[in-house]
Structure 1
Amino acid sequence: MSDLKPFDKITFEQYEALSEDIHIEIFEGIPYDMANPSQEHQTISMELSTTINNYIKKKHGSCRVFSAPFDVKLNDSPLTIVQPDLMVICDPKKLDGKRCNGAPDFIIEIVSPGNPADDYIRKLYYYKNAGVREYWIVDPRRRTITVNFFEQNILNIQYSFDATIKANIYDDLYIDFSEVDAMLN
């Protein structure tokens, strides 16, 4: 991570000056390395982003779908920048051409085997407090999807990979995870 020492706090200016091949997230000024996505991770991300994007296009919606690496600056002080695996942003004023400034409406994280607590605990806390409306945690190893719909205070509802799950921020978007699962075999 360039010349940063572990647990050194980083400023926004230092973050902006990092090489594009360095992938980190920052929580309260402290940088954390990100794991490289596996083939399974990429397959799930692609299937979900395609499904959500096709839905938005069909409905002529104004929301936009983005996938990592795309920065989301949740907070300036202390600096908190994340790169969710998948996000839906409905407020175009949050986009500045380089990142999303503020909370996306919908975030999906795909759990990496090396650090599942990051998605289940740390990011859950930050996303909820930043104003994310809905947050899903897709866990390929456990074959589960955990849905958190913060707007209605619905937390930690678990589904299996054979379920069809409603995206709560939309009236009629349902994602059939058996179709996603079929792409993994």
Structure 2
Amino acid sequence: MIEIVLPSSRKTDCIIKNTAYSRAGVREYWIVDPAKACTTVYDYDKDAAPTIIPFDQPVQCGIFPDLSITVSDYLK
């Protein structure tokens, strides 16, 4: 699941949906935050702390190992 955070939806995306997705069995949740220029990745399968990745670095998908996305490539 990938969410793009808007100022009006920050609480919903970062807290409420994060909790709901974790409980619903979603395996991975990305929060793309333009205001902070980073993506926060929650890997629920590993039950580990989230990883914060700047937009200019690739985000490796845990579910699809061959998929990697560099967010800054899509902001040009």
**TM-score, length of structure 2 as denominator length:** 0.91
Unaligned runs of at least 5 residues, structure 2: none
2:45 is the alignment partner of 1:151: yes
RMSD between superposed Cα atoms in Å: 1.1
What are the residue-to-residue correspondences of 1:124-135 with 2, within 5 Å? 124-135=18-29
2:10 aligned with 1:116, yes or no?
yes
Report percent identity of matched pairs.
38
- Separation of aligned partners in 1, 2:4 and 2:68: 18
TM superposition outliers: structure 1 runs of 4+ over 4 Å: none
Summarize the alignment of residues 29-44 of structure 1 with structure 2, pairs less than 5 Å apart: none
- Pick 1 or 2: higher relative contact order, CA cutoff 8 A, min separation 6: 2
**Are the equivalent residues in 2 in contact too, given 1:161–1:181 (CA < 8 A)?**
no
Deviations 1:129-168 (A, max 9, x none): 1100000000111111000010111332101110101000
Shift of 1:177: 1.8
Q: Secondary structure at the match of 2:35?
A: coil
Q: Between Structure 1 and Structure 2, whose CA radius of gyration is higher?
A: 1
From 46, 50, 71, the equivalent of 1:177 is 71
Gaps of 5+ in 1: 1-106
Looking at structure 1, the residues matched to 75 and 48 of structure 2 have their Cα atoms a distance apart, in angstroms, of 25
